[in-house]
Amino acid sequence: MRTLVYGLGESGAAATRALAERGEKVVVADDRDDERLRSILKDLGVQGHLRAGPEVLDCADRVVASPGVRPEHPVLRAAEERGLPIISEVALGLELIGSGVRVAAVTGTNGKTTVVDMLRRMLEVSSVPHVVAGNSWRDLTGCAAEARGAGLLVLEVSSFQLHYLESPGFEVAALLNVRPDHLNWHESFEEYVDDKLRIFDGQRAGDLALVSSRDPVGRSALEGLEAETIIVGERDTAVREDRLLLRGSRLADV
């Protein structure tokens, strides 16, 4: 399997390192060319192409697309025309982790980093081994082995990362809210919504899907899901005697 990592940002570099460490054939490319990118290429120690166009696909069986590369980019369009699989860095990270790790994923236009940080604090206070990764946190491909060891992954995912993520099957998936955003990356608000809703793809009975009572997009998405669904609102939560309660039951100490 020959993997082309397209986009030399932080996630692209992390994906490249992870693949190279596994001894896999990896090529990295970017449509830009400057001294910083040349330095990154040198540090990675893999075959690289700068100012690369669709011709770079000749050396690839699949593409890992960095989140900064828009879907209509000529290289990604050409990859689709050739029938090459395109995945995100997060998808690659989940592939490297494999099965046996519980994943709680959070997305939303606003508040996802804050919610993930709250989950992190709760798990730390409860002494539960875990790893936090994605979007505003560490690149998932850079901590896949650590996540396997912990057995629990808290993952913040953006719409960019979800765009090329097929049926992840998260044990817990939370959609906080959806508002018009990133429409310079997505072709339309409808596409943006579709990408956000991918967080629920692949969930099964026994999994958990959470949305906000204030978000019509999330509420409308729950119909037809196999996962157990919970609609969370301000009336469902309370703080009493330093305890956070959800529907009257203790969720965490605060």
In tens, the pLDDT along 118-148 reads 999 999 999 999 999 998 899 999 999 999 9
Residue 189: the pLDDT is: 80
The CATH class that applies to domain 2-84 reads alpha beta
Question: What mean pLDDT comes out for the span 166-173?
Answer: 95
DSSP per position, 191-245: HHHHHHHGGGTT--BTBEEEEETT-HHHHHH-TT-SSEEEEE-GGGEEEETTEEE
Q: Per the CATH hierarchy, to which homologous superfamily does domain 98-253 belong?
A: Mur-like, catalytic domain (3.40.1190.10)
Q: What is the pLDDT of residue 233?
A: 73
Q: Give the model confidence (pLDDT) of 105-123 as tens digits.
A: 999 988 899 999 999 999 9
At residue 13, the pLDDT reads 96
Domain 2-84 and domain 98-253, same fold? Reply is no
250 pLDDT above the threshold of 60: no
> Across all residues in the chain, what is the average pLDDT?
90
Q: Where are the domains of the chain?
A: 2-84, 98-253
Mean pLDDT, residues 231-244 taken together: 65
Q: What confidence category does residue 231 fall into, taking pLDDT thresholds of 50, 70 and 90?
A: confident
Confidence bin at 12 (pLDDT 50/70/90): very high
Higher pLDDT among residues 33 and 178, named by residue: 33
Question: What's the whole-number mean pLDDT along residues 194-218?
Answer: 91
CB under 8 Å to 6, separation ≥6 — which residues? 12, 28, 29, 30, 52, 56, 63, 64, 65, 66, 69, 73, 75, 76
CA–CA separation, 152 vs 29, rounded Å? Answer: 32
* Confidence at residue 183, expressed as pLDDT on a 0 to 100 scale: 60
Q: Is residue 219 classed exposed, middle or buried when 0-12, 13-18 and 19+ CB atoms within 10 A define those classes?
A: middle
Percent of the chain with pLDDT over 90: 72
Output the pTM of the full model.
0.87
> Span 200-224, mean pLDDT?
90
Answer yes or no: is pLDDT of 32 > 90.
yes
Q: In the prediction, which pLDDT does 185 show?
A: 58
pLDDT at position 5, please?
98
Distance, in Å, from the CA atom of 6 to the CA atom of 62, rounded to the nearest integer, reads 10
Q: How confident is the model at residue 85 (pLDDT cuts 50, 70, 90)?
A: very high
| pLDDT, mean of residues 48-58 | 96
- What is the predicted pLDDT for the residue at 216? 87
pLDDT number for residue 248: 60
